[in-house]
C-alpha cells in the first residue's frame, strides 16, 4: 500500500502511498467537500452544506439532509463551502447519538463587520428511525464562532502591533479551518500566511502554515455567537510551506492531518501531519503515485484506526493504518 522513502524519528517521515478504494457512491450534488466520521457513519458535505450520510459498514449512502447552516449553492462570500468538518467528543445533551459537529463555513477570505466570512458552525446532529427502519437526519445550529481582527493593525511581518497580541502574527490569510480539541480545551485555527491556490507563488518563500490555539468556547454556556480576537490567542506556531491548495482534515491523537491539492500535476494531492505538542510537521504523505492521483482530494478522517480520504469524484480511499504514519 505504501512505499517508504524515509524514516527517522527525529526528522520528518516521508512516504508515498497508493491507497485502496474503500467506497464509491453516487453524489447527490456537484461539488463534494468536507467529510466527518463518527461511529460507522460518514457525513459527506457539499458546497452549500447539503450532506450525504454513508453507512460505512454497508458502504452505501442511506440518507441526505441539509445542515442547519446550509446556504444553498452560489458564489457569494457567505455561502457555506463546507470544506472542513470534524466531530468533537462532546455531546450537547447526554442522550444525543452524535457529538457536536464543527463545520468550517464561508466562501471568501474577506471579512465583514462581524469578522472573517470563514466561520465555524457548531451543529447538533439528530437522527430518527421511522416505522420502516429508515434513518432520517437533521441538525441544529447551536453556536457560530467568528475570528475578528478588523481593528488590529499589524507590522510588515504580519505581527500585531498591540501589546496584548504582539507576540503573534495574523493567524490566517482570511479563511481558517477550525479544529476543536475538547480534551485540552482548545480551538485550533489552521491556515497560511498567503493564499495557496497558486495565485501568490511570488510569496512562496515567505509563506507558511500557521496553527493558532484559542480557548474552546462551550456552546452550552457561551451563547449563539462567539467572537474571538487576537488577544484571545493562547499560542501559535508556523511550519514550512511545501504543499499548495488547502482542503480539509481531522485532528487525531494530538495531530492535525490535513489534505492539499487539486489532483493535477501542477497541484498534486498531498497530506501533511502537524504535531501540536512538537509544533512541527512530523509526516508527509505523498499521493502523486496513488490510485486517485488524478482526483481532487477533499478531506481525511480516521475510521477504525485507518486513514480514509474522500475525493471530489464521489470516492473514499483507504491509506492504511494511521499508526504507520507516525
- The per-residue pLDDT for 319 is 98
Residue bearing cell 489532483: 263
HSE value, Cβ hemisphere, 13 Å, CA-based, for 102: 28
pLDDT at position 4 over 60: no
- The per-residue pLDDT for 9 is 44
Q: Which residue has the higher pLDDT, 222 or 227?
A: 227
pLDDT at position 3 over 80: no
Domain 2-149+165-325 architecture: 6 Propeller (2.120)
Give the three-state DSSP class for 203.
Answer: helix
pLDDT interval class at 307 (50, 70, 90): very high
* Distance from C-alpha of 155 to C-alpha of 89, rounded to nearest angstrom: 38
For CA atoms 205, 110, 270, 257, the dihedral sign is positive
* Distance from C-alpha of 233 to C-alpha of 172, rounded to nearest angstrom: 13
Mean pLDDT estimate for the chain:
94
pLDDT interval class at 66 (50, 70, 90): very high
pLDDT interval class at 112 (50, 70, 90): very high
* Grid coordinates belonging to 244: 499548495
Three-state SS string over 242-257 comes to: CCCCEEEEEEECCEEE
* Grid coordinates belonging to 16: 508515498
290-293 long-range contacts, CB within 8 A, separation 24+? 290/17, 290/18, 290/19, 290/317, 291/18, 291/19, 291/20, 291/21, 291/317, 292/19, 292/263, 292/317, 293/263, 293/268, 293/269
Q: What angle do CA 294, 296, 298 make, to 5 degrees?
A: 150
Do 35 and 23 form a contact (C-beta atoms < 8 A)? no
Average pLDDT, integer, range 61-67: 98
* Distance from C-alpha of 164 to C-alpha of 95, rounded to nearest angstrom: 41
Q: What is the pLDDT of residues 235-291, one digit of tens each?
A: 999 999 999 999 999 999 999 999 999 999 999 999 999 999 999 999 999 999 999
Q: Please, which residues bridge with residue 147 across strands?
A: 228
Residue bearing cell 470563514: 118
- The per-residue pLDDT for 10 is 56
Cα-trace Rg, the chain: 19
Do 190 and 209 form a contact (C-beta atoms < 8 A)? yes
pLDDT at position 133 over 80: yes
Give the three-state DSSP class for 231.
Answer: helix
- The per-residue pLDDT for 2 is 39
What Cα–Cα distance (Å) separates residue 53 from each residue in 136, 156, 290, 300?
10, 46, 26, 16
pLDDT interval class at 296 (50, 70, 90): very high
* Distance from C-alpha of 61 to C-alpha of 65, rounded to nearest angstrom: 12
- The per-residue pLDDT for 261 is 97
- The per-residue pLDDT for 326 is 76
* Distance from C-alpha of 269 to C-alpha of 272, rounded to nearest angstrom: 10
- Provide the residue ranges of all domains of the chain, joining segments of one domain with +: 2-149+165-325
Average pLDDT, integer, range 28-35: 96
- The per-residue pLDDT for 6 is 39
pLDDT at position 225 over 60: yes
Do 17 and 4 form a contact (C-beta atoms < 8 A)? no
pLDDT at position 42 over 90: yes
Average pLDDT, integer, range 281-306: 98
**% of the chain surpassing 70 pLDDT:** 97
- The per-residue pLDDT for 88 is 96
For 49, residues 6+ apart whose C-beta sits below 8 A from its C-beta are 66, 67, 69, 70, 71, 80, 82, 103, 105
Average pLDDT, integer, range 21-29: 97
Average pLDDT, integer, range 26-47: 97
pLDDT at position 7 over 70: no
Amino acid at each position: 500500500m505504501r512505499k517508504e522513502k524515509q524514516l527517522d524519528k527525529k526528522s520528518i517521515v516521508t512516504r508515498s502511498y497508493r491507497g485502496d478504494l474503500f467506497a464509491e457512491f453516487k453524489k447527490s450534488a456537484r461539488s463534494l467537500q468536507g467529510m466527518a466520521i463518527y461511529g460507522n457513519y460518514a457525513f459527506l458535505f457539499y458546497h452549500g452544506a447539503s450532506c450525504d450520510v454513508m453507512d460505512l459498514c454497508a458502504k452505501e449512502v442511506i440518507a441526505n439532509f441539509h445542515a442547519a447552516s446550509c446556504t444553498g449553492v452560489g458564489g457569494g462570500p457567505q455561502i457555506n463551502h463546507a470544506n472542513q468538518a470534524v466531530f468533537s467528543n462532546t455531546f450537547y445533551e447526554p442522550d444525543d447519538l452524535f457529538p457536536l459537529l464543527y463545520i468550517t463555513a464561508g466562501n471568501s477570505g474577506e471579512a465583514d463587520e462581524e469578522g472573517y466570512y470563514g466561520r465555524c458552525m457548531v451543529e447538533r446532529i439528530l437522527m430518527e428511525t421511522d416505522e420502516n427502519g429508515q434513518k432520517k437526519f437533521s441538525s441544529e445550529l447551536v453556536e457560530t464562532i467568528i475570528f475578528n481582527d478588523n481593528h488590529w493593525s499589524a507590522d510588515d511581518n504580519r505581527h500585531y502591533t498591540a501589546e496584548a497580541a504582539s507576540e503573534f502574527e495574523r493567524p490566517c490569510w482570511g479563511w481558517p479551518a477550525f479544529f476543536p480539541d475538547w480534551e485540552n480545551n482548545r480551538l485550533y485555527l489552521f491556515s497560511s500566511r498567503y493564499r495557496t491556490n497558486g495565485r501568490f507563488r511570488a510569496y512562496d518563500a515567505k509563506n507558511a502554515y500557521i496553527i493558532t490555539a484559542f480557548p474552546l468556547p462551550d456552546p452550552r454556556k457561551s451563547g449563539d455567537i462567539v467572537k474571538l480576537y487576537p488577544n484571545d490567542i493562547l499560542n501559535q506556531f508556523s511550519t514550512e510551506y511545501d504543499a499548495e491548495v488547502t482542503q480539509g482534515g481531522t485532528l487525531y491523537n494530538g495531530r492535525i492531518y490535513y489534505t492539499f491539492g487539486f489532483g493535477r500535476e501542477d497541484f498534486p494531492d498531498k497530506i501533511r501531519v502537524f504535531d501540536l505538542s512538537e509544533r512541527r510537521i512530523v509526516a508527509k504523505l505523498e499521493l502523486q503515485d496513488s490510485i486517485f492521483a488524478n482526483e481532487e482530494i477533499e478531506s481525511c478522517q480516521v475510521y477504525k484506526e485507518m486513514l480514509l480520504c474522500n475525493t471530489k469524484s464521489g470516492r473514499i480511499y483507504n491509506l492504511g493504518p494511521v499508526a504507520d504514519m507516525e
